[in-house]
Structure 1
Amino acid sequence: MNKEMLHSAYEINFVEADVCSKFEHGHNFFELAYIRSGTGKHFLNQSECIYHAGQLFLITPEDTHHFAIESRTAFFFLRFNNIYLKKNNLGSDSLQLLEYILQNTNHLNDCILQNIADRTFVGPVIDTIYQEQNVKDLYNEDLIQQLVNTLIIIVARNIAKFLPSYISETTEEKAVSILQYIQQNIYEPEKLRAENISDLFTVSTAYIGRYFKKHTNDTLQGYISKYKVNLIEHRIKFSDKRMNEIADEFGFTDVSHLNKFFRKQKGYSPKDIKNGLAGT
C-alpha cells in the first residue's frame, strides 16, 4: 500500500475526474475531502459508503482510503499537517487542536458535518477558495489561509459536538458536558479531581463515578487516564518537545513519574515510541 507524503504545511487541490487514479493509500497528514458534485463510493479503513455532493470526509494519518467514482465527480482536497497547525493562530492552542482532532474523530466512513448549520456553510467557503485561487487579487493568499483555518475549525466543532465513541442520542447533556470539561482541562489535574467535577456539575461525590460509568461505559478515572495517555503519545509522535516539557505540561512531578504512568497504561515506554518499538 502506498503512503503519500506532504512536503508543505498545507496543500489545496480541486480535481474533476471520471475515474479515480489512486488506489488504497495512507497519509502522513490530515486530509479533508469535499464532494462538490458527483456520486460514487468512498472506502475508508476497509468500510465503504456512498458519497454525494455536499459531503465532507476527514482522513487522519492513521487511516487508509480511496474513492470509486460512479458519475463524474468534482473533489476539493485540503491537506494539512501538524506544522501548519502549530504555526497558525486558529483561536486556541493549535497543537491541542491537532490532538483534539486525533483523539475524537471516530475513523468511521461518514460525513464529518453532523452539525446541520455547517453543511450549508462549508460549500460557499470552498467556492470562495476556488475563486481566490483562480482570480489573483490583493491579499488573496491571506484570505485563502483564513478560509483554510475556518474549515479546520468547523471540523473541530463538529467533532466537539458529536463524540460517537462515548455519546449516543440518549446520553444526557450533563454527561456530554463532563466529557468536554475533561478534554478542555486535561492539562490541569487539580480540576479533574472527582470532587471538583461533582461540585461543578451538581452530582454528589459518592455518585459521580457511577453516573459517569452509566453514560459513557467507562470509569471517570479510566477515561481521564486513557485520554491523557493517548494525548501524550500523539505529543511524542507529532511534536519536538522534550520529555521533561511534556511531563511538566501534563502535571507530572518529573519524567520518571510520566514514564511509570505511561507504561502502566500502554504496556510500553515513551522511549519505545521514539525508537519505533511501540506495540512490538
Structure 2
Amino acid sequence: MKRYILHTPFSIYHFETSTWTHSVHKHTYFEIIFILRGNGIHHINGNAFQYNEGDVFLLGPEDFHHFDIGDPTEFCFVRFNESIHKEYPGDKDRPWQPVIRTLLNTSSQSRGSIVADKQEKQKLHHLLHVMEAEYANDQSPYFEMIRDSLMRSMLVILARNLFSQTPARPVLKDSIEAILMYIRQHIYQPEDLSIEHLASTFNYAPAYISLFFKKQTGEPLKQYIIRHKIKLIEARLLYSQLTLTEIADEFGYTDESHLCKQFRKYTGSSPTTFRKRA
C-alpha cells in the first residue's frame, strides 16, 4: 500500500475533481478533510461512509482511505505533522493541551464525518477560509502564530464534537483497533507497552496477544511499537530543536546511546546524520 509523505510540517491542498485518481493509501501525517461541495463515498480502513457538502473527516498516520466520487467534489485537505502541535512556554497548564493530545491519539475512523451539527460545520469552514487566506502569505513573520492559533481552534472544535458522540461502532476492548489506540496513547511510557502489560490490559495470554496482533496487522507487536516510536522521533529530529538527550528522555530510553543504537538499526543512520541530511 502506498504511503504519502509530507515533507513540511504543514500544507493545504485545495482542489476539485469528478474522478478520484489516488489509489488506497496511508500517510506519514494527520489530515483534516473538508468537503466543500459534492457527495460520494469515503472508504476509511475498510469502512464506507456517505459524504456530503460540509462534512469534515480527521485521519491519522495509520488510517488508509480513498473516495468514490458521486457528484463533482471540491476538497480541502489540511495536512500537518505532530510537530505542528508544539508547546510554547506556559502551554503545559493550558486546558486545550490534553484535549488536542487526546484527539490526535484517538481513532475516529469508525465514525465517518466527525461533525454533524450545521453550525459547528460552519465554524470550522470559516476557520478554514481564514487559514487559506493566511497560507497565501506564509512567508509573513506572523504566519506561524496565526496558523497555530487557527489549528488549535479547529482541533478543539473537532475534539468537542468527537468526544460528545456515541461511536457508530464502539471500539471493543479486545479489538485490534483498541490495542493500536492504546499503543499510540502510551508510546511515551515504554513500561506500559511491554508484552506482559499489554496482555494483562487486554486480558490475553502474553504469547497469544503477539500472535493475535501479527495475524491482524501482518507485523510483529514489538516491531510495530518500535517503528511507530521511530517515526515520531524522526519528526522530532526534523521539526524540533530538542537535543538527543531530551528526545531520549521524552520517549523513555535509558540514555541517548540506547536511542541512537535503536534508531540506526531501523533507519540505517544515526539520529545526528538523519537530522543533518534532512
Q: Which residue of 2 aligns with 1:151?
A: 154
Cα–Cα, structure 1 residues 8 and 111, in superposed 2: closer, same or farther, change >3 Å?
Answer: same
Give runs of aligned pairs for residues 28-177 of structure 1, distance below 5 A.
28-87=28-87, 89=91, 91-92=94-95, 94=97, 97-103=100-106, 105-108=107-110, 110-134=112-136, 139-164=142-167
Structure 1: gaps spanning 5 or more residues:
168-215, 248-254
**Alpha-carbon shift at residue 77 of structure 1 (Å):** 0.6
- Aligned residue pairs, count: 207
Paired residue type of 1:233: I
In 2: Cα distance, 1:99 partner to 1:8 partner? 23
* Residue 8 of structure 2 is aligned to residue 8 of structure 1: yes
Q: Which residue of 1 aligns with 2:183?
A: 233
8 A Cα contact 1:86 1:94, kept in partner: no
Once the two structures are superposed, residues 13-42 of structure 1 have per-residue CA deviations (whole angstroms, 9 ceiling, x without a partner) of: 212223222121112222111011123322
8 A Cα contact 1:43 1:109, kept in partner: no
In 2: Cα distance, 1:60 partner to 1:83 partner? 14
In 1: Cα distance, 2:82 partner to 2:55 partner? 24
Cα–Cα, structure 1 residues 166 and 101, in superposed 2: closer, same or farther, change >3 Å?
Answer: farther
Q: What's the Cα RMSD here?
A: 3.8
In 1: Cα distance, 2:104 partner to 2:193 partner? 27
**Alpha-carbon shift at residue 152 of structure 1 (Å):** 1.3
Q: Which residue of 1 aligns with 2:201?
A: 265
Once the two structures are superposed, residues 88-143 of structure 1 have per-residue CA deviations (whole angstroms, 9 ceiling, x without a partner) of: 6594474773344433x442252110345312211111111222233677734432
**Alpha-carbon shift at residue 275 of structure 1 (Å):** 4.9
8 A Cα contact 2:37 2:54, kept in partner: yes
Give the secondary-structure state (helix, strand or coil) at the position aligned to 1:142: helix
Give the secondary-structure state (helix, strand or coil) at the position aligned to 2:39: strand
Paired residue type of 1:148: M
In 1: Cα distance, 2:116 partner to 2:222 partner? 38
In 2: Cα distance, 1:158 partner to 1:231 partner? 19
Matched-pair identity in %: 21
Q: Which residue of 1 aligns with 2:214?
A: none
In 2: Cα distance, 1:83 partner to 1:127 partner? 23
In 2: Cα distance, 1:108 partner to 1:257 partner? 24
In 1: Cα distance, 2:161 partner to 2:62 partner? 19
8 A Cα contact 1:86 1:95, kept in partner: no
**Alpha-carbon shift at residue 148 of structure 1 (Å):** 1.8
8 A Cα contact 1:32 1:58, kept in partner: yes
Paired residue type of 1:113: V
| Higher radius of gyration, 1 or 2 | 1
Give the secondary-structure state (helix, strand or coil) at the position aligned to 1:124: helix
TM-score w.r.t. length of structure 1: 0.59
8 A Cα contact 1:236 1:274, kept in partner: no
8 A Cα contact 1:37 1:53, kept in partner: yes
Cα–Cα, structure 1 residues 272 and 150, in superposed 2: closer, same or farther, change >3 Å?
Answer: same
